[in-house]
Structure 1
């Protein structure tokens, strides 16, 4: 008769922690998944309409220097991301903090660990704002939410910006 191991954690990894890429998982190549600029996911060109499935994929999403990967306990595969893997679709002020909601229902409070950054598109000169969601994965802040941030912004030292979590995030220069 086989005995059950006393340490069940030895059999099952901690599902709350993302697996590391360097633990010898076989590289399965391209998974055929793509995250579009608007936050929709597709599989070989067909949109994935089941949000719980997308949330499951997103839970094992990692960004490494050479791109984006889905990393499971037994394998890993590359996926394509057009811009950022998430979109910030809503933001509300809670006292001195900004609470963002992503397209996958994750809540992120902007601050030291979840900074807001602005990139300027070199072709159009339009701002592309982002907020860090987790472990190197950002959300593109949608235009309507960015307009809210600008409406709440204040001027400091010639910069228009917004504070959250005790950090001032510049949104851009003040126009004369």
Structure 2
């Protein structure tokens, strides 16, 4: 690891040529040397912090989100063709801030502007905290990168949900692309 701190400005400089491209950069194809850790963190609420202060420029956050990668070592990295730096992520790197039911299926929008159609490639699941019983719903955005579904959006999904009686109780589920995704079970029936 490098002893030199990596700055967001340096990363942004190496991204200038990438901004001209359409779509997401092919970070899965880039394999630069690891340059060290950067004091950057994505908080559970989707805000990005650098050295303890919020990154206020939305355009910079969106730019960084396009070069984010979650590797098999369970670490998150910002990756360019020439450098790779590790950052911290409290929960999921994105937050799903809206959902809309369209002909194409349930479309989620993240805090950085990604649009994701709920389907087999982009599944939804709910993890329940064993000590509090509180649900945390997620949707896969892209290659090992997920979005925590905002509480208000989760309430919207519950309002849209269909019910099915099971041995465990009443299961709530939503459908998209001819697939069902469970939101949870309501106690005994």
TM-score when normalising by structure 2: 0.80
Q: Does 1:166 align with 2:169?
A: no
Separation in 2, partners of 1:43, 1:146:
29
Separation in 2, partners of 1:61, 1:103:
14
Cα offsets for 1:129-159 (capped at 9, x unmatched): 0011111100000111000101111123522
Aligned pair count reads 164
Please state how far the C-alpha of 1:84 moved relative to its aligned partner. Answer: 0.3
Query: Could you say which residue in structure 2 is the equivalent of 1:151?
Result: 159
Separation in 1, partners of 2:152, 2:66:
26
Please state how far the C-alpha of 1:21 moved relative to its aligned partner. Answer: 7.1
Q: What pairs up with 1:85-164 in 2 under 5 angstroms?
A: 85-95=93-103, 97-158=105-166, 159-164=171-176
Match of 2:84 among 57, 76, 80: 76
Q: CA RMSD, aligned part only? A: 2.0
Query: Could you say which residue in structure 1 is the equivalent of 2:33?
Result: 26
In structure 2, the CA distance between the partners of 1:96 and 1:73, relative to structure 1 (3 Å rule), is: closer
Larger Rg: 1
Higher normalized helix content (fraction of residues) = 2
TM-score when normalising by structure 1: 0.86
Greater Cα shift, 106-115 or 157-166: 157-166
Please state how far the C-alpha of 1:96 moved relative to its aligned partner. Answer: 6.6
Please state how far the C-alpha of 1:22 moved relative to its aligned partner. Answer: 7.0
Query: Could you say which residue in structure 2 is the equivalent of 1:42?
Result: 49
| Conserved 8 A contact 2:30-2:80 | no
Query: Could you say which residue in structure 2 is the equivalent of 1:8?
Result: none
| Conserved 8 A contact 2:25-2:66 | no
Separation in 2, partners of 1:70, 1:154:
39
SS of 2:62's equivalent in the other structure is: helix
Separation in 2, partners of 1:124, 1:57:
33
